[in-house]
Structure 1
Amino acid sequence: MDFNSVCLPKIEASDPQCNAEAEADDRIAKSDNPDDDLACINHQVDDLFTKLEVELNGVEQFYSTVSRNQQQNGSNTTKVKDSSTPSAAKKNQTRAVAAKRRQELKLQQDRGSDCQEGEALLELQLAQEATHARTARKISNELHEVNRYLEELREMVLQKCRKFSVEEKKKLGAAFTKLSPEHLIKALEIVTQTNPNFAGVSEEVDLDMDDLSESTLWKLKIFVKEALKIQESILPTATAAKDDDKNINNKRKKKICDALAKTKRTKTELVD
Protein backbone atom coordinates (compact mmCIF):
# COMPACT_ATOMS: atom_id res chain seq x y z
CA MET A 1 0.00 0.00 0.00
CA ASP A 2 1.47 3.37 -1.05
CA PHE A 3 0.70 5.79 1.72
CA ASN A 4 1.66 8.75 -0.44
CA SER A 5 -1.38 8.07 -2.57
CA VAL A 6 -3.75 8.43 0.37
CA CYS A 7 -6.24 11.18 -0.34
CA LEU A 8 -6.36 13.48 2.64
CA PRO A 9 -9.04 16.12 3.02
CA LYS A 10 -7.91 19.44 1.61
CA ILE A 11 -9.25 22.86 2.20
CA GLU A 12 -10.35 24.04 -1.15
CA ALA A 13 -10.56 27.68 -2.08
CA SER A 14 -14.17 27.20 -3.00
CA ASP A 15 -15.01 25.89 0.46
CA PRO A 16 -17.52 28.20 2.17
CA GLN A 17 -15.60 27.98 5.39
CA CYS A 18 -12.45 29.13 3.62
CA ASN A 19 -14.36 32.00 2.18
CA ALA A 20 -15.47 32.88 5.70
CA GLU A 21 -11.92 32.80 6.94
CA ALA A 22 -10.83 35.01 4.09
CA GLU A 23 -13.56 37.42 4.95
CA ALA A 24 -12.46 37.28 8.62
CA ASP A 25 -8.93 38.09 7.60
CA ASP A 26 -10.18 41.05 5.68
CA ARG A 27 -12.12 42.25 8.70
CA ILE A 28 -9.05 41.85 10.93
CA ALA A 29 -7.00 43.80 8.47
CA LYS A 30 -9.63 46.51 8.26
CA SER A 31 -10.61 46.46 12.00
CA ASP A 32 -8.95 48.72 14.53
CA ASN A 33 -10.32 46.94 17.75
CA PRO A 34 -7.83 44.42 19.27
CA ASP A 35 -10.53 42.47 21.18
CA ASP A 36 -12.41 41.88 18.05
CA ASP A 37 -9.20 40.81 16.42
CA LEU A 38 -8.47 38.31 19.29
CA ALA A 39 -11.94 36.82 19.19
CA CYS A 40 -11.72 36.39 15.47
CA ILE A 41 -8.33 34.72 15.78
CA ASN A 42 -9.61 32.29 18.49
CA HIS A 43 -12.56 31.43 16.35
CA GLN A 44 -10.29 30.73 13.42
CA VAL A 45 -7.97 28.59 15.60
CA ASP A 46 -10.90 26.54 16.92
CA ASP A 47 -12.11 25.99 13.45
CA LEU A 48 -8.65 24.88 12.37
CA PHE A 49 -8.33 22.43 15.32
CA THR A 50 -11.74 21.02 14.55
CA LYS A 51 -10.77 20.53 10.93
CA LEU A 52 -7.42 19.02 11.97
CA GLU A 53 -9.11 16.69 14.46
CA VAL A 54 -11.48 15.48 11.81
CA GLU A 55 -8.63 14.94 9.42
CA LEU A 56 -6.55 13.24 12.16
CA ASN A 57 -9.39 10.91 13.06
CA GLY A 58 -9.76 10.02 9.42
CA VAL A 59 -6.03 9.34 9.12
CA GLU A 60 -5.97 7.25 12.34
CA GLN A 61 -8.97 5.27 11.20
CA PHE A 62 -7.35 4.66 7.85
CA TYR A 63 -4.05 3.43 9.29
CA SER A 64 -5.75 1.34 11.93
CA THR A 65 -7.80 -0.29 9.21
CA VAL A 66 -4.69 -0.96 7.14
CA SER A 67 -2.84 -2.39 10.15
CA ARG A 68 -5.77 -4.61 11.06
CA ASN A 69 -5.99 -5.87 7.51
CA GLN A 70 -2.29 -6.61 7.51
CA GLN A 71 -2.60 -8.54 10.77
CA GLN A 72 -5.52 -10.53 9.41
CA ASN A 73 -3.64 -11.26 6.22
CA GLY A 74 -0.60 -12.26 8.25
CA SER A 75 -2.73 -14.52 10.44
CA ASN A 76 -4.32 -16.14 7.41
CA THR A 77 -0.92 -16.62 5.83
CA THR A 78 0.38 -18.19 9.05
CA LYS A 79 -2.61 -20.50 9.23
CA VAL A 80 -2.16 -21.57 5.64
CA LYS A 81 1.54 -22.09 6.25
CA ASP A 82 0.89 -24.06 9.42
CA SER A 83 -1.74 -26.17 7.70
CA SER A 84 0.48 -26.85 4.69
CA THR A 85 3.72 -27.44 6.65
CA PRO A 86 3.85 -30.26 9.27
CA SER A 87 4.80 -29.31 12.78
CA ALA A 88 7.97 -30.50 14.52
CA ALA A 89 6.11 -33.30 16.28
CA LYS A 90 4.57 -34.46 13.04
CA LYS A 91 7.96 -34.29 11.36
CA ASN A 92 9.52 -36.40 14.10
CA GLN A 93 6.64 -38.85 13.93
CA THR A 94 6.93 -39.06 10.16
CA ARG A 95 10.68 -39.61 10.42
CA ALA A 96 10.17 -42.32 13.04
CA VAL A 97 7.59 -44.07 10.86
CA ALA A 98 9.88 -43.81 7.84
CA ALA A 99 12.83 -45.18 9.83
CA LYS A 100 10.69 -48.05 11.13
CA ARG A 101 9.47 -48.79 7.64
CA ARG A 102 13.03 -48.79 6.30
CA GLN A 103 14.03 -51.16 9.09
CA GLU A 104 11.10 -53.46 8.30
CA LEU A 105 11.99 -53.44 4.62
CA LYS A 106 15.59 -54.23 5.50
CA LEU A 107 14.48 -57.07 7.76
CA GLN A 108 12.22 -58.38 5.01
CA GLN A 109 15.09 -58.22 2.58
CA ASP A 110 17.34 -59.97 5.09
CA ARG A 111 14.68 -62.61 5.71
CA GLY A 112 14.19 -62.94 2.00
CA SER A 113 17.90 -63.41 1.48
CA ASP A 114 18.01 -65.80 4.44
CA CYS A 115 15.07 -67.75 3.00
CA GLN A 116 16.75 -67.88 -0.38
CA GLU A 117 19.98 -69.06 1.22
CA GLY A 118 18.05 -71.58 3.31
CA GLU A 119 16.20 -72.87 0.25
CA ALA A 120 19.47 -73.12 -1.65
CA LEU A 121 21.09 -75.01 1.22
CA LEU A 122 18.03 -77.26 1.53
CA GLU A 123 18.08 -78.01 -2.18
CA LEU A 124 21.80 -78.73 -1.98
CA GLN A 125 21.25 -80.97 1.04
CA LEU A 126 18.39 -82.81 -0.68
CA ALA A 127 20.52 -83.26 -3.78
CA GLN A 128 23.37 -84.61 -1.67
CA GLU A 129 20.99 -86.94 0.19
CA ALA A 130 19.57 -88.20 -3.11
CA THR A 131 23.09 -88.77 -4.41
CA HIS A 132 24.06 -90.62 -1.24
CA ALA A 133 20.86 -92.69 -1.40
CA ARG A 134 21.60 -93.71 -4.99
CA THR A 135 25.18 -94.51 -4.04
CA ALA A 136 23.99 -96.56 -1.04
CA ARG A 137 21.55 -98.53 -3.21
CA LYS A 138 24.26 -99.12 -5.77
CA ILE A 139 26.70 -100.31 -3.11
CA SER A 140 24.03 -102.52 -1.53
CA ASN A 141 23.27 -104.13 -4.89
CA GLU A 142 26.96 -104.63 -5.54
CA LEU A 143 27.47 -106.18 -2.10
CA HIS A 144 24.52 -108.48 -2.71
CA GLU A 145 26.04 -109.57 -6.00
CA VAL A 146 29.43 -110.09 -4.35
CA ASN A 147 27.84 -112.14 -1.57
CA ARG A 148 25.97 -114.26 -4.10
CA TYR A 149 29.15 -114.79 -6.09
CA LEU A 150 31.04 -115.80 -2.92
CA GLU A 151 28.33 -118.32 -2.04
CA GLU A 152 28.56 -119.84 -5.49
CA LEU A 153 32.33 -119.91 -5.23
CA ARG A 154 32.13 -121.55 -1.80
CA GLU A 155 29.83 -124.24 -3.15
CA MET A 156 32.22 -124.94 -5.99
CA VAL A 157 35.20 -125.17 -3.64
CA LEU A 158 33.39 -127.48 -1.21
CA GLN A 159 32.21 -129.76 -3.98
CA LYS A 160 35.70 -130.07 -5.40
CA CYS A 161 37.48 -130.44 -2.09
CA ARG A 162 35.42 -132.82 0.03
CA LYS A 163 31.76 -133.68 0.39
CA PHE A 164 29.87 -134.54 3.55
CA SER A 165 29.85 -138.26 4.06
CA VAL A 166 26.76 -140.20 5.03
CA GLU A 167 28.24 -140.88 8.46
CA GLU A 168 28.85 -137.17 9.05
CA LYS A 169 25.27 -136.39 8.09
CA LYS A 170 23.99 -138.97 10.60
CA LYS A 171 26.14 -137.53 13.37
CA LEU A 172 24.91 -134.03 12.53
CA GLY A 173 21.31 -135.21 12.64
CA ALA A 174 21.91 -136.88 16.01
CA ALA A 175 23.51 -133.71 17.35
CA PHE A 176 20.34 -131.81 16.45
CA THR A 177 18.45 -133.74 19.11
CA LYS A 178 20.85 -132.52 21.81
CA LEU A 179 20.34 -128.84 21.03
CA SER A 180 18.33 -126.63 23.35
CA PRO A 181 15.14 -125.09 21.93
CA GLU A 182 16.86 -121.72 21.41
CA HIS A 183 19.85 -123.25 19.58
CA LEU A 184 17.56 -125.49 17.55
CA ILE A 185 15.61 -122.46 16.29
CA LYS A 186 18.87 -120.76 15.25
CA ALA A 187 20.02 -123.91 13.43
CA LEU A 188 16.76 -124.05 11.49
CA GLU A 189 17.21 -120.36 10.57
CA ILE A 190 20.55 -121.30 8.97
CA VAL A 191 18.74 -123.86 6.84
CA THR A 192 16.08 -121.30 5.88
CA GLN A 193 18.72 -118.82 4.66
CA THR A 194 19.80 -121.13 1.82
CA ASN A 195 16.39 -122.77 1.34
CA PRO A 196 13.55 -120.21 1.61
CA ASN A 197 10.92 -122.91 0.99
CA PHE A 198 11.93 -124.73 4.15
CA ALA A 199 9.27 -124.33 6.89
CA GLY A 200 11.49 -123.98 9.91
CA VAL A 201 8.83 -122.44 12.15
CA SER A 202 6.35 -125.31 12.03
CA GLU A 203 5.63 -127.49 15.05
CA GLU A 204 6.95 -130.54 13.20
CA VAL A 205 9.97 -130.14 10.95
CA ASP A 206 11.12 -132.71 8.42
CA LEU A 207 14.81 -132.08 7.83
CA ASP A 208 16.57 -134.24 5.24
CA MET A 209 20.34 -133.83 5.34
CA ASP A 210 20.70 -135.10 1.77
CA ASP A 211 18.69 -132.11 0.48
CA LEU A 212 21.03 -129.57 2.07
CA SER A 213 23.91 -127.98 0.21
CA GLU A 214 27.50 -128.54 1.22
CA SER A 215 27.87 -124.97 2.51
CA THR A 216 24.74 -125.33 4.65
CA LEU A 217 25.99 -128.62 6.08
CA TRP A 218 29.31 -127.06 7.02
CA LYS A 219 27.58 -124.06 8.59
CA LEU A 220 25.34 -126.35 10.61
CA LYS A 221 28.28 -128.49 11.71
CA ILE A 222 30.19 -125.45 13.00
CA PHE A 223 27.13 -123.97 14.69
CA VAL A 224 26.08 -127.22 16.38
CA LYS A 225 29.61 -127.80 17.66
CA GLU A 226 29.75 -124.33 19.28
CA ALA A 227 26.21 -124.62 20.64
CA LEU A 228 26.94 -127.95 22.34
CA LYS A 229 30.06 -126.49 23.94
CA ILE A 230 28.01 -123.63 25.35
CA GLN A 231 25.37 -126.04 26.65
CA GLU A 232 28.02 -128.27 28.28
CA SER A 233 29.53 -125.26 30.03
CA ILE A 234 26.11 -124.26 31.32
CA LEU A 235 25.10 -127.82 32.29
CA PRO A 236 27.21 -128.16 35.50
CA THR A 237 25.73 -124.96 36.84
CA ALA A 238 22.24 -126.10 35.99
CA THR A 239 22.94 -129.54 37.49
CA ALA A 240 24.29 -127.99 40.68
CA ALA A 241 21.25 -125.78 40.93
CA LYS A 242 19.02 -128.79 40.36
CA ASP A 243 20.89 -130.73 43.05
CA ASP A 244 20.47 -127.84 45.43
CA ASP A 245 16.76 -127.76 44.73
CA LYS A 246 16.63 -131.52 45.26
CA ASN A 247 18.47 -131.27 48.57
CA ILE A 248 16.16 -128.48 49.72
CA ASN A 249 13.13 -130.56 48.81
CA ASN A 250 14.59 -133.59 50.64
CA LYS A 251 15.24 -131.53 53.76
CA ARG A 252 11.73 -130.16 53.62
CA LYS A 253 10.27 -133.64 53.27
CA LYS A 254 12.40 -134.86 56.16
CA LYS A 255 11.14 -132.05 58.38
CA ILE A 256 7.56 -132.90 57.47
CA CYS A 257 8.14 -136.59 58.22
CA ASP A 258 9.79 -135.79 61.56
CA ALA A 259 6.87 -133.55 62.48
CA LEU A 260 4.37 -136.28 61.60
CA ALA A 261 6.33 -138.88 63.58
CA LYS A 262 6.45 -136.61 66.62
CA THR A 263 2.72 -136.02 66.40
CA LYS A 264 2.08 -139.75 66.21
CA ARG A 265 4.23 -140.43 69.32
CA THR A 266 2.37 -137.77 71.22
CA LYS A 267 -0.99 -139.32 70.40
CA THR A 268 0.27 -142.79 71.47
CA GLU A 269 1.47 -141.50 74.82
CA LEU A 270 -1.89 -139.84 75.45
CA VAL A 271 -3.74 -143.08 74.76
CA ASP A 272 -1.55 -145.01 77.18
Structure 2
Amino acid sequence: MKTKDFYVLLIRLFLGYIFASAGLCKLTDGNFGQLIGPPLLIAQMAKYDLLLFAQFIAFSQVLVGFLVMSQRYSVLGLIMLMPVNVSILMVTISQKWTGTPYVDAVLVALNILALLYEWQSLRFLLLPDTTQISIPARVNELFPNIWWGTFGIVLGAMAGLFGAWSHLATLVFGAMAFVCVYINVFTFKSYFLMEKIILALSGVAILTVTFAFQLNRLVPFLLMGSIGLTLILLLARTFIHRK
Protein backbone atom coordinates (compact mmCIF):
# COMPACT_ATOMS: atom_id res chain seq x y z
CA MET A 1 0.00 0.00 0.00
CA LYS A 2 1.27 3.48 -0.83
CA THR A 3 2.40 5.57 2.12
CA LYS A 4 -0.33 8.19 1.60
CA ASP A 5 -3.04 5.53 1.39
CA PHE A 6 -1.81 3.83 4.55
CA TYR A 7 -1.60 6.98 6.65
CA VAL A 8 -5.06 8.14 5.58
CA LEU A 9 -6.38 4.66 6.44
CA LEU A 10 -4.96 5.13 9.96
CA ILE A 11 -6.57 8.57 10.15
CA ARG A 12 -9.97 7.13 9.22
CA LEU A 13 -9.65 4.37 11.81
CA PHE A 14 -8.52 6.83 14.48
CA LEU A 15 -11.20 9.44 13.83
CA GLY A 16 -13.94 6.84 13.52
CA TYR A 17 -12.91 5.13 16.73
CA ILE A 18 -12.63 8.38 18.69
CA PHE A 19 -16.19 9.42 17.90
CA ALA A 20 -17.84 5.98 17.92
CA SER A 21 -16.40 5.14 21.34
CA ALA A 22 -17.19 8.61 22.71
CA GLY A 23 -20.84 8.21 21.68
CA LEU A 24 -21.11 4.73 23.21
CA CYS A 25 -19.51 6.02 26.41
CA LYS A 26 -22.10 8.80 26.67
CA LEU A 27 -24.99 6.42 26.00
CA THR A 28 -23.82 4.14 28.83
CA ASP A 29 -23.13 6.97 31.30
CA GLY A 30 -19.39 6.38 31.20
CA ASN A 31 -19.44 2.58 31.18
CA PHE A 32 -17.77 2.11 27.79
CA GLY A 33 -14.04 2.60 27.39
CA GLN A 34 -13.05 5.65 25.34
CA LEU A 35 -10.43 8.41 25.08
CA ILE A 36 -12.36 11.70 25.03
CA GLY A 37 -15.23 13.00 27.14
CA PRO A 38 -17.43 14.17 28.59
CA PRO A 39 -18.79 10.71 29.53
CA LEU A 40 -21.73 12.06 31.57
CA LEU A 41 -22.98 14.52 28.96
CA ILE A 42 -26.47 12.96 28.78
CA ALA A 43 -27.04 13.12 32.53
CA GLN A 44 -25.80 16.71 32.63
CA MET A 45 -28.01 17.87 29.75
CA ALA A 46 -31.03 15.99 31.12
CA LYS A 47 -31.11 18.56 33.95
CA TYR A 48 -32.10 21.13 31.33
CA ASP A 49 -34.76 18.95 29.66
CA LEU A 50 -32.35 18.10 26.84
CA LEU A 51 -32.23 14.34 27.40
CA LEU A 52 -33.45 13.37 23.92
CA PHE A 53 -31.15 15.92 22.28
CA ALA A 54 -28.14 14.58 24.21
CA GLN A 55 -28.99 11.01 23.25
CA PHE A 56 -29.32 12.10 19.62
CA ILE A 57 -25.86 13.72 19.73
CA ALA A 58 -24.31 10.60 21.25
CA PHE A 59 -25.98 8.20 18.81
CA SER A 60 -24.97 10.46 15.91
CA GLN A 61 -21.36 10.19 17.06
CA VAL A 62 -21.66 6.40 17.11
CA LEU A 63 -23.20 6.19 13.65
CA VAL A 64 -20.82 8.68 12.02
CA GLY A 65 -17.83 7.06 13.72
CA PHE A 66 -18.61 3.62 12.34
CA LEU A 67 -19.36 5.06 8.90
CA VAL A 68 -15.84 6.52 8.87
CA MET A 69 -14.30 3.24 10.07
CA SER A 70 -16.28 1.14 7.59
CA GLN A 71 -14.12 2.25 4.61
CA ARG A 72 -17.03 1.46 2.28
CA TYR A 73 -18.93 4.52 3.53
CA SER A 74 -16.00 6.52 4.88
CA VAL A 75 -16.46 9.48 2.54
CA LEU A 76 -20.07 9.91 3.65
CA GLY A 77 -19.00 9.58 7.28
CA LEU A 78 -16.18 12.12 6.92
CA ILE A 79 -18.55 14.67 5.36
CA MET A 80 -21.06 14.14 8.18
CA LEU A 81 -18.29 14.29 10.77
CA MET A 82 -17.05 17.72 9.69
CA PRO A 83 -19.88 19.82 11.22
CA VAL A 84 -19.82 17.63 14.33
CA ASN A 85 -16.09 18.18 14.69
CA VAL A 86 -16.25 21.94 14.15
CA SER A 87 -19.22 22.31 16.53
CA ILE A 88 -17.33 20.51 19.29
CA LEU A 89 -14.31 22.75 18.68
CA MET A 90 -16.47 25.88 18.96
CA VAL A 91 -18.03 24.63 22.21
CA THR A 92 -14.63 23.98 23.80
CA ILE A 93 -13.39 27.43 22.73
CA SER A 94 -16.51 29.24 23.97
CA GLN A 95 -16.35 27.35 27.29
CA LYS A 96 -12.66 28.27 27.60
CA TRP A 97 -11.63 24.69 28.37
CA THR A 98 -7.92 24.39 28.99
CA GLY A 99 -6.07 22.37 26.36
CA THR A 100 -9.16 20.71 24.89
CA PRO A 101 -9.52 23.14 21.94
CA TYR A 102 -6.04 22.15 20.75
CA VAL A 103 -6.99 18.47 20.76
CA ASP A 104 -10.22 19.21 18.90
CA ALA A 105 -8.35 21.39 16.41
CA VAL A 106 -6.12 18.41 15.60
CA LEU A 107 -9.22 16.24 15.04
CA VAL A 108 -10.68 18.87 12.70
CA ALA A 109 -7.37 19.03 10.80
CA LEU A 110 -7.31 15.25 10.43
CA ASN A 111 -10.91 15.34 9.20
CA ILE A 112 -9.95 17.91 6.54
CA LEU A 113 -6.89 15.89 5.47
CA ALA A 114 -8.99 12.73 5.08
CA LEU A 115 -11.47 14.64 2.90
CA LEU A 116 -8.72 16.25 0.81
CA TYR A 117 -7.43 12.74 0.11
CA GLU A 118 -10.69 12.20 -1.80
CA TRP A 119 -10.44 15.56 -3.61
CA GLN A 120 -10.75 14.01 -7.08
CA SER A 121 -14.14 12.57 -6.09
CA LEU A 122 -15.39 15.53 -4.05
CA ARG A 123 -14.15 18.59 -5.93
CA PHE A 124 -17.45 18.98 -7.78
CA LEU A 125 -18.93 20.13 -4.45
CA LEU A 126 -16.71 23.23 -4.54
CA LEU A 127 -16.16 23.39 -8.29
CA PRO A 128 -19.62 22.66 -9.79
CA ASP A 129 -18.35 23.13 -13.36
CA THR A 130 -15.91 20.23 -12.97
CA THR A 131 -16.26 17.91 -15.95
CA GLN A 132 -14.28 14.96 -14.62
CA ILE A 133 -14.45 13.36 -11.21
CA SER A 134 -13.00 10.12 -9.88
CA ILE A 135 -15.60 7.37 -9.30
CA PRO A 136 -15.41 5.29 -7.20
CA ALA A 137 -13.59 7.15 -4.44
CA ARG A 138 -10.05 6.03 -3.68
CA VAL A 139 -11.07 4.34 -0.43
CA ASN A 140 -13.64 2.22 -2.28
CA GLU A 141 -11.05 1.14 -4.83
CA LEU A 142 -8.87 -0.15 -1.99
CA PHE A 143 -11.71 -1.68 0.05
CA PRO A 144 -14.50 -2.80 -2.31
CA ASN A 145 -15.97 -5.39 0.08
CA ILE A 146 -19.45 -4.27 1.15
CA TRP A 147 -20.30 -6.74 3.90
CA TRP A 148 -17.81 -6.44 6.75
CA GLY A 149 -17.96 -2.66 6.89
CA THR A 150 -21.74 -2.76 6.74
CA PHE A 151 -21.86 -5.36 9.53
CA GLY A 152 -19.68 -3.02 11.60
CA ILE A 153 -22.10 -0.14 11.11
CA VAL A 154 -25.15 -2.27 11.96
CA LEU A 155 -23.52 -3.74 15.08
CA GLY A 156 -22.34 -0.29 16.14
CA ALA A 157 -25.87 1.08 15.75
CA MET A 158 -27.22 -1.81 17.82
CA ALA A 159 -24.65 -1.07 20.50
CA GLY A 160 -25.87 2.51 20.60
CA LEU A 161 -29.53 1.48 20.82
CA PHE A 162 -28.79 -0.84 23.76
CA GLY A 163 -26.83 1.87 25.59
CA ALA A 164 -29.66 3.01 27.85
CA TRP A 165 -30.78 -0.52 28.79
CA SER A 166 -27.79 -2.86 28.92
CA HIS A 167 -24.18 -1.78 29.30
CA LEU A 168 -23.05 -5.36 28.73
CA ALA A 169 -24.91 -5.59 25.41
CA THR A 170 -23.42 -2.26 24.34
CA LEU A 171 -19.94 -3.51 25.21
CA VAL A 172 -20.42 -6.79 23.31
CA PHE A 173 -21.98 -5.25 20.20
CA GLY A 174 -19.49 -2.38 20.21
CA ALA A 175 -16.51 -4.74 20.41
CA MET A 176 -17.98 -6.92 17.64
CA ALA A 177 -18.42 -3.80 15.48
CA PHE A 178 -14.75 -2.87 15.92
CA VAL A 179 -13.72 -6.42 15.03
CA CYS A 180 -15.84 -6.31 11.86
CA VAL A 181 -14.33 -3.08 10.61
CA TYR A 182 -10.84 -4.47 11.20
CA ILE A 183 -11.67 -7.69 9.35
CA ASN A 184 -12.75 -5.43 6.48
CA VAL A 185 -9.47 -3.52 6.65
CA PHE A 186 -7.55 -6.79 6.34
CA THR A 187 -9.43 -7.73 3.16
CA PHE A 188 -6.81 -5.61 1.38
CA LYS A 189 -4.21 -8.16 0.27
CA SER A 190 -1.15 -6.06 -0.51
CA TYR A 191 0.03 -4.77 2.86
CA PHE A 192 3.67 -4.89 3.84
CA LEU A 193 4.28 -7.08 6.89
CA MET A 194 5.04 -3.98 8.94
CA GLU A 195 1.70 -2.46 7.96
CA LYS A 196 -0.15 -5.58 9.05
CA ILE A 197 1.55 -5.43 12.45
CA ILE A 198 0.74 -1.73 12.84
CA LEU A 199 -2.93 -2.32 12.03
CA ALA A 200 -3.09 -5.31 14.38
CA LEU A 201 -1.54 -3.23 17.18
CA SER A 202 -4.03 -0.42 16.61
CA GLY A 203 -6.83 -2.97 16.90
CA VAL A 204 -5.34 -4.28 20.15
CA ALA A 205 -5.20 -0.72 21.50
CA ILE A 206 -8.86 -0.12 20.59
CA LEU A 207 -10.04 -3.32 22.27
CA THR A 208 -7.85 -2.59 25.30
CA VAL A 209 -9.54 0.77 25.82
CA THR A 210 -12.96 -0.74 25.08
CA PHE A 211 -12.51 -3.36 27.82
CA ALA A 212 -10.62 -1.01 30.15
CA PHE A 213 -13.00 -1.60 33.06
CA GLN A 214 -12.67 -5.38 32.71
CA LEU A 215 -8.90 -5.51 32.14
CA ASN A 216 -8.21 -3.13 35.01
CA ARG A 217 -4.48 -3.20 35.88
CA LEU A 218 -3.46 -4.69 32.55
CA VAL A 219 -4.65 -1.61 30.64
CA PRO A 220 -1.53 0.58 31.09
CA PHE A 221 0.81 -2.22 30.00
CA LEU A 222 -1.26 -3.30 26.98
CA LEU A 223 -2.07 0.24 25.87
CA MET A 224 1.37 1.78 26.30
CA GLY A 225 3.01 -1.29 24.80
CA SER A 226 0.80 -1.33 21.70
CA ILE A 227 0.98 2.45 21.19
CA GLY A 228 4.73 2.60 21.75
CA LEU A 229 5.44 -0.25 19.36
CA THR A 230 3.03 1.22 16.81
CA LEU A 231 4.86 4.57 16.82
CA ILE A 232 8.22 2.86 16.40
CA LEU A 233 6.95 0.76 13.50
CA LEU A 234 5.32 3.81 11.89
CA LEU A 235 8.66 5.62 11.89
CA ALA A 236 10.35 2.54 10.46
CA ARG A 237 7.59 2.17 7.85
CA THR A 238 8.07 5.81 6.81
CA PHE A 239 11.80 5.40 6.18
CA ILE A 240 11.76 1.91 4.68
CA HIS A 241 8.76 2.24 2.33
CA ARG A 242 8.65 5.85 1.14
CA LYS A 243 6.50 5.45 -1.95
Q: Which TM-score band applies after superposition, normalised by the shorter structure?
A: under 0.3
Q: TM-score, normalised by structure 1?
A: 0.17
Highest RCO, 1 vs 2 (Cα 8 Å, sep ≥ 6): 2
Structure holding more helix per residue: 1
